[in-house]
């Protein structure tokens, strides 16, 4: 997920090259540690360090949502509105990685960005971020990424369909829509009650100012909206590009409806969690060939999670089967894709690449790592 | 001392198989109680120790830039010695055990950590974690018993070469990190078997030489050069710090398994060993150092060697907390919880090294009065015809 930084000017790579040479020299004096191990003691956000951020503030949005203000390290690259960032934070001493949509305007004067987090029941990281995080905490970051963005040429008409914390990437987009762009925006947002609408006040202001048409669906009292009712609310739906973010059943219903209407190419969706269908395979012994670690994994736990619980350092990315940051070669054995139930097998010596975040053991398997 | 199975007063004779299995379950419960409460405080602990080490090392090396000034030399050398001890014991040893892998921090993980030590982490992890911790105190299996160069048990045949064992042991202690590197390479065995051309051995030897090269360059070239006119005093300071660290870690390790009264085991006895029996072997094959919190920190909590050997992958800062529970189990099952202050354990270990450098029984039979005749006997035991030597050895041991 981390890509090489394109150079904004010709002096920076030269400086970076010089820095690398100085660091290599300094390593003669610091071995077996690296010069950066010492520099991290004083400036963990410096240029050239592993990308990190410092939490500057946590602002309450609703009873179970909060906006976290993060000052990123100096190598942070500006995001595209609608993108998400992966954040690694230590919860109860254990580093956990999660992806959150960026909600702030680009180019904030203080150099920070924000993510808005909704605490989900039993959500280890979300509850920690919303309720227990202290300003000053250092977190690990990846560069912002994601395809849930507006095209270069902003469409004349746009529809956003969101539910719960699905509003966050859309808020990131809306806040960055230039005042002079006359896009006709409709936002249909579902939340249990009016008070649960994240950014409720700000959205209603935007609607009052005529910037967007806002349809709030309060599901505790009004029930859920289905795709057909959305179409009824937005008669010119076929003329609009649509971005949808929310729970999986909602997204699937929309995809079905748009597909049936023959406008599937105008719908962009953002998933927060993998769609797990296969739940109760039999599992098996997972062996990591390089580290020699073996562990028993059940048939419903992603190998990534099982391995991390066993203390194996695993490459990881979005944790929902999208980014391929967690891919490792399956040397032997069988794994089941938790989204489709499909079983992938490898004969001894093969190196079938599998996504560990959405694959569970389907019998004994050996993975190169 | 002799292997537990040959002892007339076998200290586990009173335990039934059921006792041992129950004991194993009780120990499992202690382990689980720590796993269940591992958390942010523990993470903060190891990060603090790492932070302190790095600042102490940086500060000491900065002071040593002026090592030509004697007080700076003394201060810098003490600081660097302490830093190196912390780095090897509480930080390196324990991280390489995987005690902190649960934090999922790639910077503090057994698979990524490298330490300030001649032996590369990878090789040490194999010989230490897999061999020593699995085969603890099993004669012929656990190379930590004498590191393949010492006589550490009455059952090992005495030959005159062992007379040099105290001297040899002291030299090994001073340059312990190189001894460990050679031992991790199984250098003695490889040379004896003429396997030095084996490609796997060559690869590992190259890794060790590369590591030693970087270590030596750092301590004996780069930092002395950085000190400019103080080249020689800084080089001397770094040498002293390395020797201090070596002597200290050697002492701590001697205390863990060598003091008189720590049991050893026969190779055959571990065939089909149950988890409970493995626990009992760890309990009887290890010894603790009693002392202050500072002592526990500086020994990398190997002062809790018994707890460490029972649960090698629990975070070291928690051993002190479970030690009373472990001790209570020793008492409950009538086993000897071997703990004593550092000087006593070090003395005991060295006494054993001296005693076993001599033929069985020789030291016990020697008094100031009969010393000349005993020395004469020792001379005859070391020279002359084989048959006579054997008879003399048997008579002495009887």
pLDDT of residue B10: 83
Would you say residue B354 lies in a domain?
no
What ipTM was reported for this prediction?
0.90
Distances (CA, A) of B71 to B54, B66, B239: 22, 9, 17
How wide is the angle at C-alpha A121 spanned by C-alphas A115 and A124, nearest 5°? 60
Residues A274 and A357: beta-carbon distance below 8 Å: yes
- Spell out the residues 6+ positions from residue A338 whose beta carbon is closer than 8 angstroms to its own: A274, A276, A277, A278, A279, A300, A302, A358, A359, A360
What single-letter DSSP state applies at residue B3? Answer: B
Chain A residues in contact with B106 by the CB 8 A cut-off are 313
Distances (CA, A) of A228 to A215, A231, A255, B21, B151: 15, 5, 12, 65, 86
Of A46, A68, A42, residue with least CA distance to A55: A68
CA-based nearest distance B226→chain A, Å: 9
Q: Which domain holds residue B380?
A: 367-397
Mutation site for A-interface testing, chosen from B104, B119, B124, B314 by largest number of A Cβ within 10 Å:
B104
**CATH topology (fold) of A43-141:** Elongation Factor Tu (Ef-tu); domain 3 (2.40.30)
pLDDT of residue A4: 40
Residue B266 φ then ψ, to 5°? -80, 145
Residues B339 and B262: beta-carbon distance below 8 Å: no
Residues B140 and B239 in one domain: yes
Residues B304 and B158 in one domain: yes
Would you say residue B161 lies in a domain?
yes
Would you say residue B351 lies in a domain?
no
Would you say residue B348 lies in a domain?
no
Asked if A93 and B103 come within 8 Å (Cβ–Cβ), the reply is: yes
Asked if A31 and B214 come within 8 Å (Cβ–Cβ), the reply is: yes
What single-letter DSSP state applies at residue B89? Answer: I
pLDDT of residue A6: 43
Give the closest of B42, B98, B116 to A93, CB-based: B42
Residues B48 and B119 in one domain: yes
Cα A22 vs. chain centroid, distance in angstroms? 35
CA–CA distance, B52 with B36 (Å, rounded to integer): 27
Distances (CA, A) of A235 to A159, A200, A229, A262, A302: 11, 25, 10, 15, 42
pLDDT of residue A350: 78
Residues B87 and B198 in one domain: yes
Would you say residue B286 lies in a domain?
yes
- Spell out the residues 6+ positions from residue B355 whose beta carbon is closer than 8 angstroms to its own: B363
For A276-334, write each residue's pLDDT tens digit. Answer: 554 556 889 999 988 888 999 998 899 999 999 888 999 887 788 877 788 999 998 99
| B39 reaches A (C-beta below 8 A) | yes
**Cis check: omega of the bond before A32, within 30 degrees of 0:** yes
- Hey, what CATH class is A157-270 in? alpha beta
Residues B272 and B173 in one domain: yes
Chain B residues in contact with A35 by the CB 8 A cut-off are none
Residues B169 and B353: beta-carbon distance below 8 Å: yes
Residues B35 and B168 in one domain: yes
Question: From first to last of its 398 residues, what are the pLDDT tens digits of chain B?
Answer: 466 766 777 888 899 999 999 999 999 999 999 999 999 999 999 999 999 999 999 999 999 999 999 999 999 999 999 999 999 999 999 999 999 999 999 999 998 999 999 999 999 998 898 888 988 888 777 776 666 678 888 888 899 999 999 999 999 999 999 999 998 998 888 988 999 999 999 999 999 999 999 999 999 999 999 999 999 999 999 999 999 999 999 999 999 988 888 888 888 888 889 999 999 999 999 999 999 999 999 999 999 999 999 999 999 999 999 999 999 999 999 999 999 999 999 999 999 999 999 999 999 999 999 999 999 999 999 988 888 888 888 888 88
- Bridge partner list, A361: A335
Residues B378 and B362: beta-carbon distance below 8 Å: yes
pLDDT of residue B5: 65
Coil/strand/helix, residue A354: strand
Sign of the C-alpha dihedral, residues B282, B283, B289, B293? positive
Asked if B102 and A32 come within 8 Å (Cβ–Cβ), the reply is: no
The b/e string for B122-161 (b: 16+ C-beta within 10 A; e otherwise) is: ebbbebbbebbbebbbbbebbbbbbbebbbbbbebebeee
**Strand A294-299 relative to strand B288-290, pairing:** unpaired
Number of domains in chain B: 2
Residues B188 and B328 in one domain: yes
**CATH topology (fold) of A281-367:** Ubiquitin-like (UB roll) (3.10.20)
Residues B160 and B276 in one domain: yes
Residues B373 and B308 in one domain: no
Would you say residue B382 lies in a domain?
yes
Residues A354 and A330: beta-carbon distance below 8 Å: yes
Question: Which helix (DSSP H) or strand (DSSP E) does residue A155 occupy?
Answer: none
Would you say residue B299 lies in a domain?
yes
Asked if A28 and B218 come within 8 Å (Cβ–Cβ), the reply is: yes
Would you say residue B192 lies in a domain?
yes
Question: Torsion angle, CA of B102/B103/B109/B115, rounded to 10 degrees?
Answer: -120
Count of alpha carbons within 13 angstroms of residue A85, beta-carbon side:
32
> Residue B239's CB: how many other CB atoms inside 10 A?
13
Question: From first to last of its 369 residues, what are the pLDDT tens digits of chain A?
Answer: 333 444 444 567 788 889 889 999 999 999 999 999 999 999 999 999 999 999 999 999 999 999 999 999 999 999 999 999 999 999 999 999 889 999 999 999 999 999 999 999 889 999 999 999 999 999 999 999 999 999 998 999 999 999 999 999 999 999 999 777 789 999 999 999 999 999 999 999 999 999 999 999 999 999 999 999 999 999 999 999 999 999 989 999 999 999 999 999 999 998 866 555 545 568 899 999 888 889 999 988 999 999 998 889 998 877 888 777 889 999 989 999 988 888 888 888 778 889 999 999 998 999 999
CA–CA distance, A349 with A83 (Å, rounded to integer): 39
**Strand A84-91 relative to strand A138-141, pairing:** antiparallel
Asked if A28 and B116 come within 8 Å (Cβ–Cβ), the reply is: no
């Amino acid at each position: 997920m981390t890509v090489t930084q394109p150079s904004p000017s010709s002096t920076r790579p030269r400086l970076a090259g010089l820095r690398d040479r100085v660091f290599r020299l300094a390593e003669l004096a610091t071995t077996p540690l690296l010069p950066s191990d010492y520099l991290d003691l004083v400036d963990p956000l410096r240029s050239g360090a592993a990308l990190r951020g410092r939490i500057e503030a946590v602002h309450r949005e609703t009873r179970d949502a909060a906006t976290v203000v993060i000052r990123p390290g100096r190598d942070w690259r500006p995001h595209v509105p609608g993108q998400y960032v992966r954040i690694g934070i230590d919860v109860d001493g254990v580093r956990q990685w999660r992806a959150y949509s960026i909600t702030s305007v680009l180019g904030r004067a203080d150099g920070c960005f924000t993510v808005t987090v909704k605490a989900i029941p039993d959500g280890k990281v979300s509850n920690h971020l919303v309720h227990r995080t202290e300003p000053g905490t250092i977190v690990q970051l990846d560069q912002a990424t994601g395809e849930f963005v507006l095209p270069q040429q902003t469409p004349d008409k746009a529809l956003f369909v969101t539910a719960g914390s699905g509003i966050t990437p859309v808020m990131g987009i809306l806040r960055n829509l230039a005042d002079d762009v006359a896009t006709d925006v409709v936002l249909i947002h579902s939340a249990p009650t009016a008070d649960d609408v994240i950014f409720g006040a700000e959205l209603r202001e935007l609607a009052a100012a005529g910037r967007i048409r806002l349809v709030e669906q309060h599901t505790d009292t009004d029930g859920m909206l289905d795709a057909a009712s959305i179409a009824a609310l937005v008669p010119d739906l076929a003329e609009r590009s649509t971005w949808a973010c929310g729970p999986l059943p909602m997204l699937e219903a929309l995809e079905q409806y748009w597909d049936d209407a023959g406008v599937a190419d105008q719908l962009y969706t953002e998933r927060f969690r993998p769609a797990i269908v296969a739940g109760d395979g039999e599992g098996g012994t997972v062996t990591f060939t390089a580290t020699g670690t073996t562990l028993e994994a059940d048939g419903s736990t992603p190998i990534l999670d099982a391995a991390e619980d066993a203390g194996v350092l695993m490459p990881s990315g979005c944790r929902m089967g999208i980014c391929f940051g967690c891919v490792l070669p399956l040397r032997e054995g069988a794994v089941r894709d938790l989204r489709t139930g499909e079983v992938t097998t490898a004969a001894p010596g093969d190196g079938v690449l599998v996504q560990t975040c959405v694959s569970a053991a389907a019998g004994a398997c050996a993975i190169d790592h | 001392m002799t292997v537990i199975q040959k002892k007339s007063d076998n200290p586990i004779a009173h335990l039934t198989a059921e006792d041992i299995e129950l004991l194993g379950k009780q120990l499992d419960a202690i382990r689980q109680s720590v796993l269940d409460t591992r958390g942010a405080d523990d993470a903060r602990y190891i990060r603090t120790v790492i932070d302190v080490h790095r600042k102490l090392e940086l500060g000491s090396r900065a002071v040593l830039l002026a090592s030509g000034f004697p007080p700076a030399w003394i201060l810098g050398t003490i600081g660097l010695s302490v830093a190196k001890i912390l780095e090897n014991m509480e930080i390196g040893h324990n991280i390489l055990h995987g005690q902190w892998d649960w934090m999922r921090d790639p910077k503090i993980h057994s698979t990524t950590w490298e330490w300030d030590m001649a032996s590369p982490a990878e090789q040490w992890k194999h010989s230490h974690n897999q061999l020593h911790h699995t085969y603890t105190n099993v004669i012929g299996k656990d190379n930590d018993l004498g590191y393949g160069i010492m006589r550490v048990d009455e059952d090992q045949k005495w030959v005159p070469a062992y007379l040099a064992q105290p001297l040899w042991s002291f030299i090994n202690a001073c340059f312990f990190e190189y001894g460990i590197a050679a031992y991790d390479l199984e250098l003695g065995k490889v040379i004896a078997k003429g396997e030095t051309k084996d490609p796997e051995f060559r690869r590992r030897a190259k890794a060790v030489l590369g590591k030693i090269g970087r270590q030596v360059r750092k301590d004996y070239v780069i930092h002395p050069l950085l000190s400019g006119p103080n080249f020689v005093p800084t080089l001397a300071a770094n040498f002293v710090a390395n020797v201090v660290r070596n002597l200290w870690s050697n002492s701590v390790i001697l205390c863990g398994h060598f003091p008189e009264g720590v049991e050893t085991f026969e190779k055959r006895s571990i065939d089909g060993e149950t988890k409970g029996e493995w626990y009992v072997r760890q309990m009887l094959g290890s010894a603790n150092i009693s002392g202050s919190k500072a002592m526990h920190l500086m020994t990398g909590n190997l002062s809790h060697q018994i707890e460490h050997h029972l649960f090698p992958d629990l975070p070291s800062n928690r051993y002190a907390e479970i030690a009373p529970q472990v001790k209570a189990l020793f008492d409950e099952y009538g086993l000897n919880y071997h703990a004593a202050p550092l000087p006593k354990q070090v003395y005991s270990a060295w006494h054993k090294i001296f005693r076993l450098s001599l033929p069985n029984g020789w030291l016990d039979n020697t008094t100031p009065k009969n010393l000349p005749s005993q020395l004469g006997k020792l001379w005859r035991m070391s020279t002359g015809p084989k048959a006579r030597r054997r008879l003399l050895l048997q008579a002495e041991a009887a």
